[in-house]
Amino acid sequence: TVSGLTICNCISEAGAMDSLVINACPGDSITANYLGGAIVDSDDSLRFILHTLPSFPVGHIIAWNDTPGFVLSDTLPKDSVFYISAIVGDYINGDTLDISDLCLKVAKGTPVVLRSRPTAVLSSDTTACAGSNLSIPVQFTGTAPFAVTYVYAAQSVTVSGIVANPYNLVVGPVNAGDLLLIAEQDSFCSNSIADTVQISTFPVPQITNVNILCDFSNSTYRLEFDAMGGTAPYAVSGVGGSFLGNKFTSAPIAAALPYSVGLSDIHNCGQATANGVAICICPTYSGTMPAGLLKFCPGDTAFVTPGGDEALDDREQFQSGVHGEERGRELEHLVRVLDQPLAEPVQVFLQGLLF
């Protein structure tokens, strides 16, 4: 008879894997750092696995490889932790090892976090004042800080270091058109985006056809202009007045005062301004009379023909006067004022004096 204790030692060891976490994105090719230390007996083999539990039991084996490198399929569940481990055991059919081998050894795996690709969504279509700056909210998924790239007005712009979520993209000066979001990146992954916001614009009001209406009788003037662009109703600041259609006429302004007005519309799209000084020069000119000395005798009727170069506004009329010598603009001894440039018989005047 033969009797005794049988000792069968498993000498194989899988070695060690780096414990540093690997963050990866769908579709990435990753390689864990194998630290070595494997002991493989004559009938064992060293291989590597991508699996779902840290060591042994290994959980679900996703893939086998002769090196610690794997491609993370898009079909794998996102924001999940997987592991890459060295494994030593007996080959069975294909390229796998016998998981039921009593001497199977599995190294504690390198953690691999499969991150979701970030997304970014723009707000709905919007309207702004032409030429202004516009804030467009964008909502992110993923892990800050974010970076985003958009195209607007044929210009590609990248904004990085974004921590706030949602975040306001500030664009301007704006014109009507589309803003297209094309790419985003978070702390771990990048992604191609295709989101669009349509920007419509309100036109900014303008002041045109400024005109000054002088009132010489009252030493005042009125300011008149057309409001163009923008959206009625309009509002005018700086002076009172009223609109007739799109034409504004101010209340009377003292002739010595300058004017300064602002024009805004219902959308408050900025303010057009106009300022200046009214130049009201009186257009009246009495014209010229014959310069030669005329002599008459008592009883004569004197006729004088003016030069015809007088200038009158629409409130004035032309008259002739017979008077004494002129002292500046003061007329001494005004004797007659007539609607025609002629005098009555000269016997009414003092003889020998100059008129």
Report which of residues 309 and 23 the model is more confident about: 23
Question: pLDDT band at residue 345, thresholds of 50, 70 and 90?
Answer: low
What pLDDT, on the 0 to 100 scale, is given for residue 347? Answer: 47
CA-based nearest residue to 85, from 109, 116, 59: 109
Q: Which residues pair with 215 in a beta bridge?
A: 220
Whole-number Cα distances in Å, 101 to 34, 47, 59: 23, 14, 16
* Whether the bond into 57 is cis, omega within 30 of 0: yes
pTM of the model: 0.63
348 by DSSP, 3-state: which? helix
Mean pLDDT value of segment 329-354 = 53
> pLDDT at position 4, please?
61
Q: How far apart are CA 334 and CA 324, in angstroms?
A: 6
Q: Which two tokens stand for residue 239?
A: 């002076």
Per the model's pLDDT, the better-predicted residue between 291 and 324 turns out to be 291
Question: Is the torsion defined by CA of 327, 331, 333, 335 positive or negative?
Answer: positive
**34 pLDDT tier (thresholds 50, 70, 90):** very high
Find all residues with CB under 8 Å of 299, minimum gap 6, and list them.
345, 346, 347
Confidence of residue 292 (pLDDT cuts 50, 70, 90): confident
Average pLDDT, the chain: 87
User: Helix or strand or coil: residue 339?
Assistant: coil
* Strand order through the sheet with 155-162: 126-129, 190-202, 177-185, 146-152, 155-162
Please check the confidence at residue 349 and state whether its pLDDT lies above 70: no
φ, ψ of residue 346 to 5 degrees: the values are -75, 0
Task: Quote the pLDDT of residue 328.
Answer: 45
Min mean pLDDT across 41-55, 238-252, 299-313 is at 299-313
C-alpha–C-alpha distance, residues 58 and 52, integer Å: 7
Task: Please confirm whether the linkage preceding 166 is cis (ω < 30° from 0).
Answer: yes
Task: Please provide residue 132's backbone torsions phi and psi, each rounded to the nearest 5 degrees.
Answer: -90, 175
pLDDT tier at 310 (50, 70, 90 boundaries)? confident
- Is the bond preceding 145 in cis, omega lying within 30 degrees of 0? yes
pLDDT given at position 325: 60
**How far from chain centre, in Å, is Cα 117?**
29
**How confident is the model over 114-166, as pLDDT tens digits?**
999 999 999 999 999 888 899 999 999 999 999 999 999 999 999 999 999 99
Cα dihedral 39/43/48/51 (nearest 10):
-110
| Least confident stretch, 79-93, 256-270, 320-334 | 320-334
pLDDT (tens digit per residue) in 237-290: 999 999 999 999 999 999 989 999 999 999 888 778 999 998 887 767 777 887
Which among 132, 75, 129, 113 is positioned nearest to 265, based on CA atoms?
129
Q: 3-class DSSP state for residue 7?
A: coil
Supply the DSSP symbol for 347. G
CB atoms within 10 A of CB 35: 14
Spell 65-98 as b/e; 16+ CB within 10 A means b. eeebebebeeeeeeeeebbbbbbbbbeeeeeebe
pLDDT at 333: 47
Q: What are phi and psi of 348, to 5 degrees?
A: -75, -15
Banded model confidence at residue 338, pLDDT cuts 50, 70, 90? low
Bond prior to 173 in cis (omega within 30° of 0): yes
Q: Considering only 73-77, 192-196, 351-355, which range has the smallest mean pLDDT?
A: 351-355
**The Cα angle at residue 49 between residues 44 and 50, in degrees rounded to 5:** 170
- Rounded mean pLDDT of 69-93? 94
pLDDT recorded at residue 144:
95
Q: State the average pLDDT over residues 298-309.
A: 75
